[in-house]
Amino acid sequence: MIPIRDTISARHFPVINLSIIGINIVIFLVQMAQGPEIDRFIYIYGLVPARYTVPQISSYFTPGQQLFSLVSFTFLHGGFWHILGNMWFLYIFGDNVEDHLGHLRYLLFYFLCGTASGISHLLLNLNSNMPTIGASGAIAGVMGAYFILHPSSRILTLIPIIFIPWFIEIPAFFFLGVWFILQFLSAAGSQGDMGGIAWWAHIGGFIFGIIFLKIFQAMPAVGITKKLTPVTEKKKTYRLQVIRPSGTGDSPHLYGSIQITPHEARTGTRKLVNIPWGFHTRLIKVAVPAGIRAGKTLRLKGLGRQLPDGRRGDLLLKVIMQ
């Protein structure tokens, strides 16, 4: 199963989330360019619990270096698949959390989650000399916040069956709940960090993400956040949308809705609509004409119910303006 995205479209462009992803990619390239010095690079900028608890080791590092490692370890990764998986999950869940908190508060939230996840790992592996790296703990905090903010959301997931793409929607509370349980079971069955994965950092990040969300929700947004919000308002909705049409009585027609922004209404747009069809799904290209208004209906001929004589009704999509 490959998660594609959640079904809740953020109202604003995720400036901070995408910037964090970009910085991670740049630092990963710098890390890969270290060559024979990469182990030393990771030991200096990764999170090594023994550096904080073993005097013979901590004496080689300044207080500033020790504090910096509590942040820098979240920007290092162990390989291509490690960073790809982390950045993809951050891309899926981060935009909605940023949308809720605002750009600057989301930035602070992300760093706090990363630091808290690192401290969680440190406290449970006090004498470990193995570096911990990766954004997983910080992203776990983002996932924890998403779990609270959008439990009824759905995760659009691709299940490739040979060459046929099959899209299903998994409830977010189930997706994230199972993920958290798997982290806990993995942590309980592991020998410290011998498995190479900081399970407790994931767990700590998820829990602290929920705690920090509650704290930030109790704090008023600063003036600069309110000024940035109109500037970053999104101009487009997701190109791929899932529609579950419904019918009424014996009518051959089916009804659903399609979401667009005011900008797309003015200029026109094209969407890919995924329609569940029995045990299969259908991908339909939908052209939204320029100048359309909210509440108008798009008629897709022949995509409704099949009549006894073999003819089909139409699919009527109501235009919803975000």
d(CA 134, CA 46): 9
Are 154 and 171 contacting, i.e. CB atoms less than 8 angstroms apart? Answer: yes
d(CA 296, CA 321): 10
d(CA 217, CA 201): 24
Q: What is the pTM of this model?
A: 0.76
Q: Residue for token digits 């991908």?
A: 283
Q: What distances in angstroms separate CA 320 from CA 92, 256, 272, one per listed residue?
A: 23, 10, 16
Which range among 127-141, 148-162, 300-314 has the greatest average pLDDT?
127-141
Question: pLDDT over 90 for what percent of the chain?
Answer: 48
pLDDT confidence of residue 191: 57
Task: List, in order, residues 6 or more apart from 313 with CB less than 8 Å away.
Answer: 251, 252, 253, 254, 304, 305, 307
Q: Is the pLDDT of residue 195 over 90?
A: no
Q: Residue for token digits 């189930």?
A: 174
d(CA 238, CA 240): 5
The full set of domains in the chain, from first to last, is 2-231 (1.20.1540.10), 240-321 (2.60.260.20)
Are 288 and 298 contacting, i.e. CB atoms less than 8 angstroms apart? Answer: yes
What is the distance, to the nearest Å, from the Cα of residue 181 to the centroid of all Cα atoms in its chain? 18
Task: List, in order, residues 6 or more apart from 234 with CB less than 8 Å away.
Answer: 9, 10, 11, 12, 13, 261, 322
d(CA 204, CA 125): 13
Q: Is the pLDDT of residue 63 over 80?
A: yes
Strand partners, 312: 306
3 state DSSP class of 243: coil
pLDDT band at 321 (very low <50, low <70, confident <90, very high): confident
Question: pLDDT over 70 for what percent of the chain?
Answer: 89
Of 121, 20, 134, nearest in space to 79 by CA: 134
pLDDT band at 196 (very low <50, low <70, confident <90, very high): low
d(CA 211, CA 205): 10
* Tokens of residue 47, six digits: 């999170």
Strand partners, 321: 260
Q: What's the DSSP call for residue 196?
A: S
Read off the pLDDT of residues 293-319 as tens digits, 9 standing for 90 and up: 989 999 988 888 888 888 888 888 999
End-to-end CA distance of the chain: 29
Read off the pLDDT of residues 273-285 as tens digits, 9 standing for 90 and up: 877 665 556 778 8
d(CA 213, CA 262): 30
DSSP string, 132-189: B--SHHHHHHHHHHHHHH-TT-EEEEEEEETTEEEEEEEEHHHHHHHHHHHHHHHHHH
